[in-house]
Amino acid sequence: MKTSFVVLVLLVLSVGIENEGGLKVVEGKVCEVKLYDFCDSDICFVDCPKSSPHENSFDFKFVGKMLELPFNMALRFPNLDLKCVPFGENLNPEVLGGLVTLVALGFTAAYIRYRTKHPKGCLDPQNFKEFKLIKKTQLSHNVARFRFALPTPSSVLGLPVGKNILARGRDSKGEEVMRSYTPITLDSDVGYFELVVKMYPNGKMSHHFRQMKEGDYLAVRGPKGRFTYVAGQARAFGMLAGGSGITPMFQLIRAILENPKDKTKLHLIYANVTVDDILLKEELDKFAENFPDRFEVYHVLNKPPPQWNGGIGYITKEMIQSHFPEPAQDIQILRCGPPAMNRAMATHLDALGYTQRMQFEF
């Protein structure tokens, strides 16, 4: 019986995706055909080669129709036309039918557990979806914080750490414009997501955000972006940010520091013109206070106030050398700022011995 059960599990895992299929005992042999077609946005079985059902793969991340599986297998089991493959000769059809249903129920339970821990996100990488602005907070004369509601209070945006979204709006001439933004929220923030946006006088998308009021909708699609973060992928990150380039850094900082299992160290050099231009300063300073052994922030201002303790002017090679870990295979340096700043930082990093493999530009 144990051998029969193991064989059955392997058969269920290897079943394909075509109409009218399943398992049955014919003349003492376990027979197999391709099973069932429900490959949609909630894919159950994926990438199943039609010519070779035993090479199929099973992906728990897309088991959307799993709740239907035990019932369909139980109902279809007795009356299928099959292509026979000899796996066993002494399996009782009634027992086998019960085992098929039992195994499918097990997969259903696993799917429910997976979806509870990993709720499906609201983003669509191909199509724009609209989200309602429920709160707009002016942080300075040209910076605002926008909170957008998700469909339900328990919904998550579904944005992996390191990725961004594409927002669509209209400029002052009414022409469509699109720009990429990184939310400062994570999927641990349920029911909403937030953007911190710096609005430039002649910015096309800046005009759209400047005109937005609570109750308006923003069209968004994603995730997008080349950077992917996996906990522990680096011993430490050096971060070079300028102006609104802090947002992808902030997303990563939050994800790392709010994960008690992630011991990655973070070193941030953040450049701005004046103190008022520093985005998320309160949050960054709080992280530095709460995680003194894991997070360091060094502010650099072009026009500092009197008695300023941070850097003055532009980020220099000496500042990087002083505040960042030395080049090593387990070190990664990230940069995000205006194009001129990014080029200057790349030159500094190359001169200090950080290889291209150690550098990433958002």
Q: Annotated binding residues for FAD, as ranges?
A: 179, 181, 196, 198, 204-206, 247
3-state SS assignment for residue 247? helix
Most distant pair of Cα atoms in the chain: their distance: 92
pLDDT at residue number 105: 61
Cα distance between residue 277 and residue 247, in whole Å: 13
CB 44 within 8 A of CB 68: no
Specify if 100 maps to a domain.
yes
| Dihedral of alpha carbons 326, 332, 338, 340, sign | positive
Quick one: pLDDT at residue 13? 43
pLDDT at 20: 39
Residue type, 362: F
pLDDT at 48: 37
Q: What phi and psi, each to the nearest 5 degrees, are found at residue 170?
A: -130, 140
Task: Give one DSSP letter per residue of 59-112, joined into a string.
Answer: -GGG-TTGGGHHHHHHHHGGG---EE--S-S---HHHHHHHHHHHHHHHHHHHH
- Contacts of residue 54, defined as CB under 8 A and 6 or more positions apart, other chains included, come to 14
Do the Cβ atoms of 195 and 212 come closer than 8 Å? no
The total of structural domains in the chain comes to 3
Quick check: is 335 in a domain?
yes
Residues 54 and 101 in one domain: yes
- Output the pLDDT for position 120: 80
Task: With beta carbons less than 8 A apart as the criterion, state whether 196 and 281 touch.
Answer: no
Q: What angle do CA 9, 14, 18 make, to 5 degrees?
A: 125
Domain boundary at 73, 97, 117, which? 117
pLDDT beneath 50: ranges in the chain: 1-67, 71, 73-74, 76-85, 87-88, 111-112, 114-116
What's the confidence (pLDDT) of residue 350? 98
Residue 170, domain extent: 129-224
CA–CA dist 177, 200 (Å, integer): 15
Full-model pTM: 0.69
Q: Name the DSSP letter for residue 181.
A: E
User: Which CATH number covers residue 158?
Assistant: 2.40.30.10
What percentage of the chain's residues is helix, strand, coil (to nearest 5)? 35, 25, 40
Going by their DSSP bridges, the two strands 236-242 and 331-336 should be labelled as: parallel
Question: What does the pLDDT look like over 246-284, one tens digit per residue?
Answer: 999 999 999 999 999 999 999 999 999 999 999 999 999
Nearest alpha-carbon partner for 148 in 254, 220, 245, 210: 220
CATH code: domain of residue 329 = 3.40.50.80
Residue 264 to residue 332: CA distance in whole angstroms:
11
* Residue 123 belongs to some domain of the structure: no
| Residue 118 pLDDT | 53
Residue numbers in the known binding site are 179, 181, 196, 198, 204-206, 247
Phi, psi of 190 (to 5 degrees): -95, 150
Q: Are residues 91 and 208 in the same domain?
A: no
